[in-house]
Structures are given as C-alpha cells and as structure tokens.
Copies of this chain bind each other. A is one copy, B any other.
Amino acid sequence: MLNVAVVGYGYWGPNLVRNFVEAPESEVVMVADISEANLKRVSSRYPAIQTTTSVDDIYNNNGIDAVVIATPVNTHYELALNALQSGKHVMVEKPMASSSEQAKHLIQEAQSRNLVLMVDHTFVYTGAVRKIANLVREGELGDVLYYDSTRINLGLFQHDVNVIWDLAVHDLSIIEYVLNKEPRAVSATGMSHVEGEPENVAYLTIYYDDNLIAHVNVNWLAPVKVRRTLIGGSKKMIVYDALEPIETIKIYDKGIEVETAEDIYRTLIGYRTGDMYSPKVEATEALQLEARHFIDCIKNGKTPETDGAAGLRVVKILEAASESIKNRGSVAELS
C-alpha cells in the first residue's frame, strides 16, 4: 500500500483525493491546504485523512511515499522541489512549472534521487486521446498534416496566468502525446479585455518539421462552450469533440489525391470522400487510470507516460507563446 499526500484541495484536489482513495494500491493519509474551510470539507468527507495547513507536515512525515500537488502554477516548483528533496515521489498539476528552467531543475532533482516525477496531463489518460494516439501511431491517418483545436467558453478569468497557460495547456499535453514530435517554433497572438489582466482571447500556432502545423484557439469570453479538435492526415482525418459523450471521435475517410500530370505544368488535386466511423471509446475515468499508472511507476520503477520531460516540452511551448504574444505573433524559435 502506497501512502499519498495531496497538497491543495481547491478545484481539482478533491478529484485527486477521491481517485487515490479509490485506487486499490494507495491510501491518502494527509491533505494540506492553506484554507481551513477546504480542510473541513476533507474531514467531513474522509474522517480518516489527516489535514494540515503546513506542507512541512508532509515533507517531515516519513510514512508518506508520494505527494500530489494541485495548487496554483506559481507554487508548483517550490512545492515539488521540497517534496523531492524530502525523498518523495511527485505528481504535479499541469503546467508543471512557471518556466522551463524550473522544470529542468525538477527533472534533475528527481533523476538524481531516483524518484518518480509525473505531470498530471489528465487528457492523455482519457479513452478518446489514447484511441487517437493509437490511430496516429498505427499510421491509420497517414502523415499527420495539421492539428487544429478550439477550446472556448465563458470561463473563469485567471489573474496569474493567461488563457493559453490555462486552456491551451490541455491541447499542448494532447499534442505532445499524440504527435510525439519536436516543436520548432511558436507564433501566438492574443488580447486582454480587462485592464491589467492577462490575455483572455488567444491563438497559438506551433511549427513542426515536415510541414506539420498545430493551432489552438482559446477564449475565456465566448458565448458557447466548444471543445473540438481536427486532426488532418494524408489518408484520414479525425474530429474529436470532447463534449460529445457518445460519438466523441469521428474518423473520416476523406482526403486529397495529388497527381502530377506529365504533360501539363499544373498539379492536379482530386478529392476523396468515403465512409465515417466512430469507434467506441473506453469510459474509465482518466484520473483513475492515471493514479494507478503513477502507483505502478513508483512500485515497479517505470517511467510515466507523462513524465517530467513531457511536462518540460509543454512548458517550453508556453514560454515561447508568452514571448511571441508580446511581439504580436513574431515567431519564437524553440531550441
């Protein structure tokens, strides 16, 4: 049995606690939060779990094996670092840290201490994204040509991070897992409509080799909720609508056929349009799958599918996006 502590019991923390409580090989022994009100909610729901307003109670507790961090982004680095330094495995909310430098440092710290460092890229553990990743890896789509996502709604305005760090981070974690390619450069544009606040509307383009391009449209100020991703391949194309409970993924047998005629100069481009197919998607809660994977990695010395390296790649794109957005779209190269 693995003893887990959770830091942060605000919006996402309750889901993490519940899933580690339900996972057969872990027990949640302590929850820390700065809010007494939040801790009361823990106690009334789970009388057996200890609560504290001091994270040191977690670091100093030798009975705790792993720490799960669900606090604001700007606290991730220090909390995760302290947890690793006190010898605990760490699972940290996305984005992993506020800068790539911080992310790199966490990776080194985990590596040198032989501890598991996992980033909570929850979407990677959904049945839909795993299905899409399989289709891409098995070559079902042919060459992937573009990834195009719209993630908009009348959402909670954040004060410390802009809409890219808040919403596009989900797409970046999916892109990272599904495309599995090195991003080369980023161009981002956006606008704030409340003085002194971060951008609430933003657009992000990521360039890859081989003419692959990804684009993410995020908006906290939209009248309708949309969670729709198109993935265009040379053979087939996918529409992934996370708000569709049943037909979440649709695979279209559509594309173009390029013919280079010999005797004319002009390329001929023909259309191909066939059947559509919507596979059944595994319905297990993503967080349960993820919690078990974290436990498995710790017990059996495995590397998480969403390890520190994956978290770092996402943070690098976020950093570059912030840089580009300041220059109204000027490209930021990724090293």
CB distance from A252 to the nearest CB of B (A): 4
- Per-position binary interface string of chain A over residues 181-212, scored 1 when its CB falls under 8 Å from any chain B CB and 0 otherwise: 00001010111111111000101010100011
* Contact status A275-B273, CB under 8 Å: no
- Per-position binary interface string of chain A over residues 147-191, scored 1 when its CB falls under 8 Å from any chain B CB and 0 otherwise: 010101010010100000000000000000000000001010111
* Contact status B331-A331, CB under 8 Å: no
CB distance from A314 to the nearest CB of B (A): 20
Give the chain B neighbours of A266 by CB distance below 8 A.
159
In chain B, what residue has the closest Cβ to A201? B146
* Contact status A279-B269, CB under 8 Å: no
Contact A230:B237 (CB < 8 A) given known A189-B213, A197-B267, A280-B275: no
15 further contact pairs, Cβ within 8 A, besides A219-B232, A223-B252, A330-B331: A145-B221, A146-B191, A148-B219, A157-B269, A187-B189, A189-B207, A195-B267, A221-B256, A222-B232, A224-B252, A274-B280, A277-B278, A278-B278, A327-B330, A330-B330
Give the chain B neighbours of A157 by CB distance below 8 A.
256, 269
* A306 touches B (CB below 8 Å): no
Tell me the residues in window 235-272 of chain A with beta carbons closer than 8 Å to chain B beta carbons. Answer: 237-239, 246-247, 250, 252-256, 258, 266-267, 269, 271
In chain B, what residue has the closest Cβ to A219? B148
* A329 touches B (CB below 8 Å): yes
- Copies of this chain present in the complex amount to 4
Main secondary structure of the interface of A (DSSP, over half): strand
In chain B, what residue has the closest Cβ to A328? B331
* Contact status A215-B217, CB under 8 Å: yes
The CA of A269 and the CA of B253, in the complex, are separated in Å by 35
* Contact status A221-B215, CB under 8 Å: no
In chain B, what residue has the closest Cβ to A247? B276
* Contact status B329-A187, CB under 8 Å: yes
Contact A193:B217 (CB < 8 A) given known A159-B267, A203-B203, A328-B331: no
* Contact status B239-A232, CB under 8 Å: no
The CA of A190 and the CA of B205, in the complex, are separated in Å by 9
